[in-house]
Amino acid sequence: MFQGFYDLTSNMITQNRNLNIISNNMTNVSTPGFKSDKLIQGTFRDELIYRYDRDGKTPVGVVSRVNTADERVTNYEEGGVLETTRKLDCALTGDGFFTIQGENGVVYSRNGSFNLDNQGCLTLQGVGRVLGYDGNPIRLTTDDVYVSRDGFIFSSDGQTYFGQLGIVDFADYSQLQKIDGGVFTGGGAQIPANAVVQNQMLEDSNVSMVEEMTSMMSSQRSLQGSAQLLRLYDQLIGRAVQLGSMS
């Protein structure tokens, strides 16, 4: 009976976490360059079998089926590219991230919906100033610019050169940590080999509303089912206690 309480409660906690992740994905469906997340679920028993089998040991025989949230995984699959005609908009195709000077250090994003601040610096709104290849903020004297496929920024007449977008990639994406929307922190940045800049375009988020809606309904059903069984367990225990007191 008590094992059932543990199993159902752990499942409710896990499904709540899953619903929070799904909700965040759906909220950012229109955020340029956003990468969706997914909660990987497992059980205590599955974890123990994996760890012991890997070393050639005998499983410990744990029979608990307590559901756990093992890991939050980000899907880095590239989104589609949408034409915007805004001259400061830039999409990346291939591997790589724009480098941004955030409030607490350098951060990385695929969101290329850039603007100019009051000092003429290229910025990602709400995040910080866009950094160039040299690690310094990029300053423009106009928003009438052209950005090459290599990230070089010129005035539209080609007479003025402003700098090159600092685009980096990571050998191991597990080093990245999502902090807000489509913004990441992490170490081990290196120059990517195949990132291409598409000017006057934005990368769409890779969130699939159909998949998220399906996952949300499945998670809600699992949560509701666990809640109903918990109420049933509670009623059975109440009756058992009542019968015990009568005897």
Averages of pLDDT over each 10 residues, the chain, 247 residues: 63 86 94 93 53 47 52 91 96 96 95 96 96 96 96 95 96 89 91 90 96 90 77 67 61
Domain ranges of the chain: 2-77+209-246, 81-203
Question: What integer pLDDT is reported at residue 1 of this predicted model?
Answer: 47
Question: What integer pLDDT is reported at residue 131 of this predicted model?
Answer: 97
- The radius of gyration of the chain from alpha carbons, rounded to an integer in Å, stands at 25
Extract the tokens encoding 198: 């598409």
Long-range pairs for 188-194: beta carbons < 8 A, 24 or more residues apart? 189/99, 189/108, 191/167, 192/94, 192/95, 192/96, 192/167, 192/168, 193/95, 193/169, 194/94, 194/95, 194/96
Q: Which residue stretches of 28-151 are H helix?
A: 44-54
Residue whose tokens read 């800049």: 197
**CA distance linking residue 106 with residue 61, whole number of Å:** 47
Question: What integer pLDDT is reported at residue 52 of this predicted model?
Answer: 44
How many helices and strands, by DSSP H and E, does the chain display? 3, 18
pLDDT tens digits for 94-106?
999 999 999 999 9
CB-based burial label for 143 (10 Å; 0-12, 13-18, 19+): middle
**CA distance linking residue 141 with residue 163, whole number of Å:** 12
Question: What integer pLDDT is reported at residue 157 of this predicted model?
Answer: 92
Question: What integer pLDDT is reported at residue 50 of this predicted model?
Answer: 47
Q: What is the pTM of this model?
A: 0.78
Nearest to 147, CA basis, from 170, 171, 130, 169: 130
Reduced DSSP (H G I as helix, E B as strand, rest coil) percent helix, strand, coil of the chain, to 5: 30, 35, 35
pLDDT tens digits for 22-64?
999 999 999 999 999 998 876 555 445 444 444 454 454 444 4
Extract the tokens encoding 10: 């752990």
Question: What integer pLDDT is reported at residue 66 of this predicted model?
Answer: 53
For 98-129, letters b (16+ CB in 10 Å) and e give: bbbbbeeebbbbbbbbbebeeeebbbbeebbb
Long-range pairs for 3-6: beta carbons < 8 A, 24 or more residues apart? 3/64, 4/229, 4/233, 5/230, 5/233, 6/64, 6/66
